[in-house]
Chains A and B, each alone.
Chain A
Amino acid sequence: MNANFEYLCYGLMAAWLIVALYVLLLGLRESKLRRELDRVRQMVEPRSK
């Protein structure tokens, strides 16, 4: 095991951390949208009945 293996690890960690963060961001946005969709649906529903 040599010294610059450390930097390889940092590099890979950083790369996949960015992907993870982006996916997390997407997930948060999606759940917000779904909640919003439910809310709006409830707003519309009583009228259509």
Chain B
Amino acid sequence: MRNRIMLLLTVAFAALLAWNLKNILLGLPDEARQDAVYRILYFHAPAAMVGLTGFGVGMVFSGIYLATKNLYWDTLAASTTEVSLMFAAINLVTGSIWGRQQWGVWWAWDARLTSMLVCWLIFAGYLMLRRAIDEPDTRARLSAVVSLFGTVNAWFVYKVIEWFPRLQHPGPVLSFRTGGKIDRALETPFYWNVLALCLLAVVLVMIRMRQESLTREIDSLRRLAHA
């Protein structure tokens, strides 16, 4: 059942992605100042959205773990954070490539990318911490606290870095931030791509969860073997 859902979601993701790629690459006109390269942003920004949301969702799962002490929520939190870290990496790399084309440098210390990098480092620390602890309950408890602190901190980073002098980022363009200055034809593929990446995230989290249940099975069998 679970594998079938996973397969279904993967197919849905692939179809949606193909359709999006066609729309974005062939259907959209080149932008006045940026020509073709602005299309990276249709992957760059959704990756950031999915990544940051994932960190937040990971924090919620960590909170639920702390409230219930059920290890299921811990593995869910770890899987979500790991997948979000991958999306954050996509955001960083595509942003850097876009910056290379637009600003001439790979890394311009622009505000959003820098805050994403800091978030990335925080949650990379979270995964490193998980590897350093063997005992499942301790690992779950401590990493849940790190996830909570990390997410609150990520919010601080995100807010504060905007005020730092000399850090620039292209202003908001989506209509929910600006009140509708962008053409609908440009905006619609963007949201479809957010959906596509969300599907991908869900599939990856599910794969990751299956692995965690395998690990648990191995652990319990091993305990049986040594008993």
Contacts and interface: CB of A to CB of B under 8 A. Distances in A.
A touches B in complex, CB < 8 A? yes
Interface of A: 2-5, 7-8, 10-12, 14-15, 18-19, 22-23, 26, 29-30, 33-34, 36-37, 40-41, 43-44, 47
Contact of A40 (B44, B93, B218): B218
Given A5-B35, A26-B208, A12 B40 contact: yes
Contacts of B224: 44
B195 interface: no
A7 B200 contact: no
22 contacts: A5-B35, A7-B98, A8-B36, A8-B37, A11-B37, A11-B43, A11-B44, A14-B90, A15-B93, A15-B94, A19-B90, A22-B86, A29-B211, A30-B211, A33-B211, A37-B214, A37-B218, A40-B222, A41-B221, A43-B225, A44-B224, A44-B225
Contacts of B86: 18-19, 22
B225 A26 contact: no
A4 B35 contact: yes
A4 B86 CA distance: 26
Contacts of B60: none
Size range of the chain B interface in the assembly: 20 to 34
Contact of A22 (B39, B204, B210): B204
Contacts of B225: 40, 43-44, 47
Contacts of B57: none
Contact of B89 (A18, A26, A34, A47): A18
B97 interface: yes
Contacts of A44: 221, 224-225
A2 B39 CA distance: 14
B47 A15 contact: yes
Contacts of B215: 33
B187 interface: no
